[in-house]
Chains A and B, each alone.
Chain A
């Protein structure tokens, strides 16, 4: 009966169940205090109506004390919910990030924006749900029944009116809730889609301008943004309609109660009070309780939409959890380096078999082959980025989930696409907890990159664009080579390291890489550049 999304919500909230229960209990108690408070208020008003002189100070004091107690209980309940929701939020966010950062690159990997939205915004929907729903549900379970129980001995027709109009509300809510769920799911999907679309478009604004596609982009975006608006409006329309229906039922219930009580007090109706005459105080008390009978139901209806939104978010989280993509082995943490020869036996990745291979420490190897023959994939497997299923051994150790971190610490990887993190250049060039400035200077010299840094207005403090905006493509590549030199690891693996360099700079970079090799580092490159292939002793050619 329960949907996978609900089971998921229950599962992630399980560690906080006690907190949420305690909060619910406090919220119920706070609302129940309205019964005596309303009774005192009714006695005062009834006393006034019948011309007696009620003890104003006593009554006012009782109302005040009960009121303060209610506020205090609500305050305490809110705190329980907030703390519980916060803990759930923290755990869920950490899980999402831990999963996403481990995906090996590929077209089926969800976009970074999609993950960011899931992690930051959509989990907040679950938080909002936890702040309201458990309390509303607990109150619905207790308060209406309690009110019926105390009203029935005083006036059965009022109890009957409430009993009939009350349960109609959940029926309506269930009907509307089904419509709301679809609308919510569509809205969620549109939000992800729009964010993914935008994050790519924003990264490509220059290209879009050069292609004179700005108008096209604007139109696309306008259509998508408008669709999101319509879908949001659809969700809201259902929400507004359901709360209007509820309000209507509540209003009708209260109005019928008022009319019955009014006529009884006037003496027109003479049934319902078990043979007694209904006093003015009792009548007023009934009138004060009637709206409170409906209030938990209305609150639950309001929280229902948080619940629907949370369910839609939970569906996505569940999907994210169940996504089976190639994982990068290991943790991505710092670990002790591994040394030794590399051996590859029977490596098969994405449907392509790769040749068996032994690489001695300090050796040089060029992986060549026509475009699309899998040079990059092979290099990524050697570097411990793609799982190799036991096919890759370093020394006597198989590179697997446990040992991959250590292996990657022994490899300085130069990827084809440069990404600069949102950090000053100094940190991007070292990516280490502590920075040795002298070594960094040497590394920059080796990569022929000193003058690049000197040209930057803020030098090593410059924050470059994510794709190296601020320096040319060749310069960005040389900066990454400088980082490799700084890292000084047993192996250097580079994917097309000379691709954007002119002859002179390419020669200098090649010399730099060879220098690293001369110092003992093994050098493995995937390349088709004859300038580079020429100077590498060993070559392995991948067929198309």
Chain B
């Protein structure tokens, strides 16, 4: 099953009622369009003949003209309903796909998340999902609708006019149209895929460029990197231009198919008329039907051009969707990240072996440690001695090779490089503790020696705060959850000695019974500990 088909099935299954109604309406709209024009043509010609023959008085004008009015209104109403239904249903499904994809991403393993680049991940969640909105609306529905409408026209012309006219008028459209559209799809698919890929590269590149602009500026490479982005943009636009060239050719091709169908129908029905096989009104009906059939190809056209882009997007998105239910209700492990021990309070590590990544050597071997409630332990050791890996393992971010980790109670972890987000201080704390009020929030900021206005607004990735301020805000985020076990990785980095001491003192005062494990590198952190363990 191709990914694109998989996505279509997801959309269909999730919104079967709306989608099936929409597809019926699509067919109706197309059939009604052709019927409307054919009936009008027939009516005028028949009326003209009746007028010439002097039989106007007995000619039934009301039924055909009522039919014309009905078809016109019903087609308009049908189109409105179809668009509303199909778009609403598609957007609903896409929204839930987006959420599902984000949940899937947040469950990736630690190593993957470390390497995740926001620009590219953003592309998955926005551009790729957006690209999929036409799967049902612009590809599957129009093709189905056109097929049914062509079949209905074929049958109608066969019975009302004759087999030869029917075969030519419908056949030339179907085969000519299919030929042109297949060519367009074949020639255009890789171009639309390429244009989309390049646009996404451009987006991710711009995000990287802007996030890293200080680095680029001090390297004197900002202009050069901008030129690189300019080249990606030029390539993306060139692909779009090439694709546009194919679109014009397809449009012209479809017009020529319609033209030859019309011309052929005129010649055939004219011959049948002069041979006396059909009447003039029937000939008019056939000619107008041939004229109306041109709409079918036009309806499919746009979807064909988007096919390449959709296929590529589906390929990238589909793997992230497998497994999880469409509307996941529960995310994350409510009990915390590590296994709760039975009657244990505090933290116990027994016979622990750790290797930070598969294939690399073991950096911590047969490690044993108990941190009781109310105790503070500092871990020291050179860079790379495994302090951070140990904390990561306790927090459940990386697996342990051997041994056991037991924790009693809720765990809080301040990682080495916490990431902050744009928004106010209040937003940041609210994310950690949705139930806390402003008083709690102000209090925790004071504990962290960072008494700041809760309305203070941070920029992207927490810009607008100094390194030390960011660190204290990140610490406040952890503390406000009142963990029973607190893991701190270099908590006072970026703080002067006095502030560092006051922060560490505040942490202990805030959580008198917590088991605290610090990966320490500064004197203040060691001094705050009851015990110091060297790795």
Q: How far is the CA of A500 from the CA of B490 in the complex (A)?
A: 7
Instruction: Decide if A432 touches B219 in the complex (CB within 8 Å).
Output: yes
| Closest 10 pairs between A and B when the two form their complex, measured CB to CB | A332-B222, A469-B114, A107-B464, A280-B48, A266-B56, A251-B72, A204-B419, A431-B219, A107-B459, A112-B210
Is B13 located at the chain interface by the 8 A CB criterion? no
Q: How far is the CA of A468 from the CA of B115 in the complex (A)?
A: 8
Instruction: Decide if A287 touches B44 in the complex (CB within 8 Å).
Output: yes
Instruction: Decide if B118 touches A255 in the complex (CB within 8 Å).
Output: no
Segment of B229-237, B304-312, B438-446, B509-517 engaged in the interface with chain A: B229-237
Instruction: Decide if B76 touches A214 in the complex (CB within 8 Å).
Output: no
Q: How far is the CA of A475 from the CA of B388 in the complex (A)?
A: 12
Please indicate the chain A residues that have their CB under 8 angstroms from the CB of B388 in the complex: 472-473
Known pairs A112-B119, A473-B388, A500-B416. 9 more at Cβ < 8 A? Answer: A45-B280, A111-B422, A261-B44, A284-B41, A335-B220, A371-B466, A413-B218, A469-B113, A503-B521
Tell which of A196, A199, A232, A240 touches B91, judged by Cβ atoms closer than 8 Å. Answer: A232
Q: How far is the CA of A60 from the CA of B252 in the complex (A)?
A: 19
Is A534 located at the chain interface by the 8 A CB criterion? no
Closest CB in chain A relative to B21 CB, distance in Å: 15
Instruction: Decide if B463 touches A105 in the complex (CB within 8 Å).
Output: yes
Closest CB in chain A relative to B201 CB, distance in Å: 10
Instruction: Decide if B56 touches A236 in the complex (CB within 8 Å).
Output: no
Closest CB in chain B relative to A7 CB, distance in Å: 25
A106-B463, A268-B56, A475-B383 given; A331·B222 CB < 8 A? yes
Instruction: Decide if A240 touches B59 in the complex (CB within 8 Å).
Output: no
Instruction: Decide if B209 touches A101 in the complex (CB within 8 Å).
Output: yes
Closest CB in chain A relative to B325 CB, distance in Å: 13
Please indicate the chain B residues that have their CB under 8 angstroms from the CB of A120 in the complex: 199, 202-203, 206
Q: Which of B271-287 contact A (CB under 8 A)?
A: 271, 273-274, 280-281, 283-284, 287
Instruction: Decide if B259 touches A200 in the complex (CB within 8 Å).
Output: no
Identity of the chain A residue whose Cβ is nearest the Cβ of B80 in the assembled complex? A244
Tell which of B237, B244, B287 touches A90, judged by Cβ atoms closer than 8 Å. Answer: B237
Please indicate the chain A residues that have their CB under 8 angstroms from the CB of B219 in the complex: 431-432, 487
Q: How many residues of A contact B (CB 8 A)?
A: 167
Closest CB in chain B relative to A55 CB, distance in Å: 10
Is B122 located at the chain interface by the 8 A CB criterion? yes
Identity of the chain B residue whose Cβ is nearest the Cβ of A245 in the assembled complex? B76
| Interchain residue pairs with CB less than 8 A apart (18) | A45-B45, A45-B280, A101-B216, A115-B210, A116-B206, A200-B422, A200-B461, A216-B431, A217-B431, A218-B103, A247-B76, A265-B44, A417-B461, A419-B212, A422-B117, A432-B219, A500-B490, A502-B521
Please indicate the chain A residues that have their CB under 8 angstroms from the CB of B270 in the complex: 44, 48, 54, 56
Closest CB in chain A relative to B206 CB, distance in Å: 4
Segment of B142-150, B170-178, B330-338, B342-350 engaged in the interface with chain A: B330-338
Please indicate the chain A residues that have their CB under 8 angstroms from the CB of B216 in the complex: 101, 332, 421, 431
Please indicate the chain B residues that have their CB under 8 angstroms from the CB of A273 in the complex: none
Is A175 located at the chain interface by the 8 A CB criterion? no
Is A14 located at the chain interface by the 8 A CB criterion? no
Q: Which of B72-102 contact A (CB under 8 A)?
A: 72-73, 75-77, 79-80, 83-84, 87-88, 91-92, 94-95, 98-99, 102
Chain A 48-79, CB-CB to B under 8 Å as 1, else 0, gives 11110110110110011001101110110011
Closest CB in chain A relative to B83 CB, distance in Å: 5
Closest CB in chain A relative to B298 CB, distance in Å: 13
Please indicate the chain A residues that have their CB under 8 angstroms from the CB of B224 in the complex: 333-334, 433
A63-B266, A416-B467 given; A409·B220 CB < 8 A? yes
Is A532 located at the chain interface by the 8 A CB criterion? no
Is A201 located at the chain interface by the 8 A CB criterion? yes
Is A157 located at the chain interface by the 8 A CB criterion? no
Please indicate the chain A residues that have their CB under 8 angstroms from the CB of B226 in the complex: 97-98, 101, 332
Chain B 4-37, CB-CB to A under 8 Å as 1, else 0, gives 0000000000000000000000000000000000
Identity of the chain A residue whose Cβ is nearest the Cβ of B464 in the assembled complex? A107
